Amino acid sequence: MRTVTGGEESKVDRVGVSVIVLCLLLILGATVAPKAAGAYIPTLQIVGDIENALDIRGVEGLDLQTITYGDRTLHAVSIDELLKIAKPRSRSDVIYSAPDLAARVDASLLANSYLAFTPENGWEVLNFDHPTSSNIKRLEQIIAVAHELEWDDRITIISPIENIAYFSIGQLHASSQYVHWEYNGSATFTHDTVGYTSSVYTKSPAVTLSDLAGEADLGRVLVVGGSGEMAVYKGGMFLLRPNHVDFVAEGRRGMVKNVKGIILNSPVSSNSDAFHDALHFLGAGRSVLLVILDGFGYHQYAYASDNGYLPFMSSLGEAQRVLSVYQPVTNAGLASILTGVGPEQNGVMSRNQRSLTSQDLFEVATEMGKMSAYIVGDRQIINVSMEPVYNLDLNQSGSTDDEILATTLLYAKKDVDLVVAHFKDIDRSGHTFGDLSLQTMLTIAETDRYLEELITSWDGMVIVAVDHGMHSTLDGGGHGLLRYEDMFVPYFILEGGKR
């Protein structure tokens, strides 16, 4: 135990938590138990925009210091060192929150700020460098509120045409107005033939959809979870966990964990429809060409069409705007197209997964007695039930799309019921130059010519699907985030043959 002294205007040397205590806290789930047997110390939470949520239930295990504050001598712990354990996700403010009072300070200026517990004041903040109004008593929470967060660390609200708003978990903790009593279970004890039932609930701070999205007409609303699940909103509450948000549907009909965002006015259709539409046409005795374009957002399609880069596709009529998947990356989008289900069912939710946990289109087509071909570039993105037809960059053009075109045209002349061809150049150009750059528009125009040649050569039904979109970045383009540019893509179904 260290001793430091000072009055209200004194400076106190910054003191660290020992490495042993840091390890102990992390091993024990960042929970500290009371030292005095039988003594009640209320739990203090450190929550918000942090990596590690902390429940402080006592002072044992903390690197306590003896501080003199005014005429009081107290055992206290450095708030700055506690925040180092909690790991704020960016530069932050902290809010000291008590039942009827709060104070907000810059988290980077807490070198001389301490936390103590006394029976008369409960958990108490002692700031040597801040105004005394920041010395909150009966403290219940320390809330970290980030100044700025990466997009994927926020809860985002989007529609098919715009990114509407975003919130951090720290902001929501700082502004939550509701308490939700979350049902945990019931037990019944029978005494003298009478059943005595007790139900247990956990209290959680919560917000409503209208708190997040306002009162406007929201249309069809989807709640998107971190594992790719999407639930249609039909009432419910957004529960504020220490460092993430869960959604519980009205009447406990389901839960979405680790909410990443909300989609307003969402279309019913998604790129997974390609699977079902292809099987429908195969079942009707039609041959099917499924063209998959990589990284082609609906906003790119609309811009290219409006500016003359899509003469052939524009002649087909307006594309349907459909939903991609979360995360909107090639692995997950391709898996959705080829399985007809989302990441929570097919097992592919990010760039880290390659193996499917549900049947793919080729497997079902084989069971129907149909012949298939899967035409790709020089590598396979996800593992499917059949061996792909690979294409190398034989002419050293820097692209395999022209080789994929030639191979697909050859298969159009064969006795094959289903051909799936995956073109990558729009995605590559978008990453390198940007989603709406001239170079990407020229690549889209070239792909438009490829589509014209393929569709007019195919005797059967043609489906054009897209795995994900693309948004602008400082150095080009990217995708993988819950934003409208990444999440909404064009979709076509049409009859092949000469026009």
Q: Band of the pLDDT at 41, cuts 50, 70, 90?
A: confident
Q: Is residue 162's pLDDT more than 80?
A: yes
High-pLDDT (> 70) share of the chain, %: 92
Q: How far apart are CA 128 and CA 148, in angstroms?
A: 27
Q: Is residue 15's pLDDT more than 70?
A: no
Residue 350: per-residue pLDDT? 95
Q: SS3 for the chain, per residue?
A: CEEECCCCCCCCCCCCCCHHHHHHHHHCCCEECCCCCCCCCCCEEEEECECCCEEECCCCCCCCEEEEECCEEEEEEEHHHHHHHHCECCCEEEEEEECCEEEEEEHHHCCCEEEEEECCCEEEEEECCCCHHHCCCCCCEEEEEECCCCHHHCEEEECCCCEEEEECHHHHHHHCCEEEEEEEEEEEEEECCEEEEEEEEEEEEEECHHHHHCCCCCCCCEEEECCCCEEECCCEEEEECCCCEEEEEHHHCCEECCEEEEECCCCCCECCHHHHHHHHHHHCCCCEEEEEECCCCHHHHHHHHHCCCCHHHHHCCCCEEEECCCCCCHHHHHHHHHHCCCHHHHCCCCCCCCECCCCCHHHHHHHCCCCEEEECCCCCCCECCCCCECCCCCCCCCCCHHHHHHHHHHHHCCCCCEEEEEECHHHHHHHHHCCCCHHHHHHHHHHHHHHHHHHHHCCCEEEEEECCCCEEECCEEECCCCCHHHHEEEEEEEECCCC
Residue 293: per-residue pLDDT? 98
Q: Counting Cβ atoms within 10 Å, is residue 178 exposed (0-12), middle (13-18) or buried (19+)?
A: middle
Q: Is residue 382's pLDDT more than 80?
A: yes
Residue 28: per-residue pLDDT? 35
Q: Band of the pLDDT at 394, cuts 50, 70, 90?
A: very high
For residue range 461-475, list pLDDT tens digits in order.
Answer: 999 999 999 999 999
Residue 131: per-residue pLDDT? 93
High-pLDDT (> 90) share of the chain, %: 81
Residue 499: per-residue pLDDT? 60
- Other CB atoms within 10 Å distance of the CB of residue 275: 22
Q: Average pLDDT in the 128-134 region?
A: 93
Residue 334: per-residue pLDDT? 98
Residue 39: per-residue pLDDT? 65
Q: Band of the pLDDT at 62, cuts 50, 70, 90?
A: confident
Closest CA to 180 of 103, 107, 250: 250
Topology of the domain covering 273-495: Alkaline Phosphatase, subunit A (3.40.720)
Sorted by where each begins, the domain ranges of the chain are 2-146, 151-263, 273-495
Q: Band of the pLDDT at 30, cuts 50, 70, 90?
A: very low
* Mean of per-residue pLDDT scores for the chain: 90
Please, what is the angle between helix 273-283 and helix 330-339, to 10°? 30
Do 273-495 and 2-146 have the same topology in CATH?
Answer: no
For residue range 260-272, list pLDDT tens digits in order.
Answer: 999 999 999 999 9
Side chain identity, residue 258: N
- The sign of the dihedral angle between the CA atoms of 358, 359, 362, 363 is positive
Q: Is residue 24's pLDDT more than 80?
A: no
Quick one: tokens of 151?
């997009």
Q: Is residue 231's pLDDT more than 90?
A: yes
Residue 393: per-residue pLDDT? 95
Residue 180: per-residue pLDDT? 77
Topology of the domain covering 2-146: Sulfite Oxidase; Chain A, domain 2 (3.90.420)
Q: How far apart are CA 377 and CA 138, in angstroms?
A: 63
Q: Average pLDDT in the 326-340 region?
A: 98
Considering only 72-86, 145-159, 199-213, 391-405, which range has the smallest mean pLDDT?
199-213
Residue 184: per-residue pLDDT? 82
Considering only 89-103, 146-160, 177-191, which range has the smallest mean pLDDT?
177-191
Residue 251: per-residue pLDDT? 80
